[in-house]
Amino acid sequence: MDNFIFNARTKIYFGKGQVDNLPDILNEFGKNVLLVYGGSSIKKNGIYNQITERLSEFSVCELSGVEPNPKIESVRAGAELAKKKNVDVVLAVGGGSVIDCAKSIAAGYYYDGDPWDFVKDSSLIGDVLPVVAVLTIAATGSEMNKNSVISNMASNEKLCTSSLKFIPRAAILDPTYTYTVPAYHTAAGVADIMSHVFENYFKSDMTAGVQDGFSEAILKTCIKYAKKAIDTPDDYEARANLMWASTMALNGLCGAGKSGSFSCHPMEHELSAFYDITHGVGLAILTPRWFRYILSENTVDLFYRYAVNVWGICDEDKFAAADKAIDATYAFFEGLGIPMNLSKLGIDGNKFEIMAKKACANGLSNAYVPLSENDVVNIFNMCV
């Protein structure tokens, strides 16, 4: 296990009615609040009113319309508004896209140049406004991590920038706020959660027993509760477990002491950058093909552990167990209603080579199994 620093500065308020704590949370940082959210869903389901009713004593300005793959234009607009209104704290109400956008806005407040500069080079991030999150979908884990993924469609780039200062100071996690999430996005969120775990679990270091045990528990939790949440949207137990799984999957816990870069995420970022598809859907399509592509004598032991501990597959032949576990992963995502082929999303192979080149530029040589541009093209082709 490698040396690591585990930073968990987010104060989590988990459960029904925790929004009542919002005024006290915000008062710690100031009275001028920038409220950031996406489309009209939080107004339709009543969350917007619950939030604004508790902001009566604050001076509030709003940035709405943040996109599912947040665009740099929204970051620019938010940073400009925050500066104009002399904001003290950024309040993100939504899923990972909204929270990611809020983090970059919080950095843009102190940055004199174009925010795209620090998206491309995180060393340029200086001071960052406090960020508080109210989560409305279980997926990215942005409510408790240091990452912000922003897209620039003009250059077909989707990049992750990060800073420890991005980690939200507090996050309200009320599972009832996810009751109205559509089945498709619930499924995509689960795929995103599981992908975060897979990318930390499938690394060359197999000595991090505690971390890998956490990972297996989170995966089994997703498998247990995903269909329940889709079939019965107001199942509190299912929604609560998925929400907590989302937060735990990418707050540094599962990846502590396990070095190396992700594989599927850089590849999916290219799919989103060129085709603006739902992130979790792209990950669900890629993951079983990546599994199949990297299965070998060198990796079969870890796949066997995955088969046994997550799926309960105990064939004496390790490769047979691994194959069944990969098939089970594919079938699970398909059973949630995720289209498991890129062709179903209108994506062909025309841009695979340039996408592979960009993906490899983002660290695939340091992945669990290093991938070349040709490898990435092959995996993309397996997904068509």
Among the residue ranges 1-5, 324-328, 347-351, the one predicted with the least confidence is 1-5
Query: What's the rounded mean pLDDT across residues 18-29?
Result: 98
Give the mean pLDDT of the chain.
96
Q: Is the pLDDT of residue 7 over 90?
A: no
User: What is the model's pLDDT at position 9?
Assistant: 87
- How much is the average pLDDT of 219-244? 98
- What local confidence, expressed as pLDDT, does residue 8 receive? 82
Give the closest residue to 79 by CA, choosing from 98, 105, 61: 105
CA separation for the pair 182, 57 (Å, rounded)? 33
Structure tokens at 338: 């995720």
Query: Where on the phi/psi map is residue 15: left (φ > 0), alpha (ψ -120 to 50), or beta?
Result: left
- Say how far apart CA 89 and CA 168 lie, in whole Å: 11
pLDDT band at 213 (very low <50, low <70, confident <90, very high): very high
Q: Which tens digits make up the pLDDT trace of 132-189? A: 999 999 999 999 999 999 999 999 999 999 999 999 999 999 999 999 999 999 999 9
pLDDT value at residue 362? 79
Q: 0.85 cut: is pTM over it?
A: yes
pLDDT given for residue 365 in this prediction:
84
Q: Which two tokens stand for residue 146?
A: 């240091």
Burial of 3 by CB count in 10 Å (0-12 exposed, 13-18 middle, 19+ buried)? exposed
Predicted pLDDT at 39: 87
Q: What is the pLDDT of residue 254?
A: 95
First to last CA, the chain: 37
| The pLDDT of residue 315 is above 90 | no
DSSP per-residue string spanning 6-44: ----PEEEESTTGGGGHHHHHHTT-SEEEEEE-SSHHHH
- Cβ atoms < 10 Å from Cβ of 366: 11
How high is the pLDDT of residue 87?
98
Full DSSP string of 287-327: HHHHHHHH-STTTHHHHHHHHHHHH----SSHHHHHHHHHH
Q: What is the average per-residue pLDDT within 246-260?
A: 94
Q: Which among 244, 71, 65, 72 is positioned nearest to 141, based on CA atoms?
A: 244
3-state secondary structure of 69: coil
What is the DSSP code string of 176-234? GGGTTS-HHHHHHHHHHHHHHHHHHHSSS----HHHHHHHHHHHHHHHHHHHHHHHSTT
Distance between CA atoms of residues 239 and 112, nearest Å: 41
**80-133 residue pLDDT tens:** 999 999 999 999 999 999 999 999 999 999 999 999 999 999 999 999 999 999
> What average pLDDT does this structure show over 231-253?
97
Percent of the chain predicted with pLDDT > 70: 100
Domains of the chain (ranges, CATH numbers): 11-177 (3.40.50.1970), 183-383 (1.20.1090.10)
User: pLDDT at position 5, please?
Assistant: 84
Listed range (30-34, 133-137, 255-259, 287-291) with the worst mean pLDDT? 255-259
Q: Provide long-range contacts, Cβ within 8 A and 24+ apart, for 77-84.
A: 78/34, 78/36, 78/102, 78/104, 78/105, 78/108, 79/104, 79/105, 79/108, 79/109, 79/111, 79/115, 81/34, 82/34, 82/106, 82/108, 82/109, 82/129, 83/109
Q: How far apart, in whole angstroms, are the C-alpha atoms of residue 156 and residue 150?
A: 11
Q: Dig out the tokens for 233 from the structure.
A: 């949207």
Please report which helix (H) or strand (E) contains residue 159, including its range.
strand 157-162
Pairing of strands 147-152, 157-162: antiparallel
pLDDT value, residue 375: 97
pLDDT at 78: 98
